[in-house]
Amino acid sequence: MFGSGIQGAFDGDGSKTVIPRKVIGKFSVRIVPNMEPSTVEKQVVDYLTEIHRKRGSPNTVKSVSDLFNLIR
């Protein structure tokens, strides 16, 4: 079962004094008739890559889309 959410980030009340080494974000995309999974995958990855570039972060982003591979 795949879930949505963020792993590795502290989101409770109080100060955030520790920066996690790695944060994983998961979300789901509903594919409806006439949507091509490979097109949606490219659009999502392109969008996230552009947001990261605009922020000028020195961190790296890795996109993994196993879900798209499962539904093909």
pLDDT in tens, 13-69: 777 667 777 777 777 788 899 998 888 888 888 888 898 899 998 888 887 766 555
- CATH for 18: 3.30.70.360
DSSP code of residue 14: S
Residue 34, sorted as left (phi over 0), alpha (psi -120 to 50) or beta, turns out to be left
Residue span of the structural domain in which 30 resides: 5-71
- What is the pTM for the complete model shown? 0.60
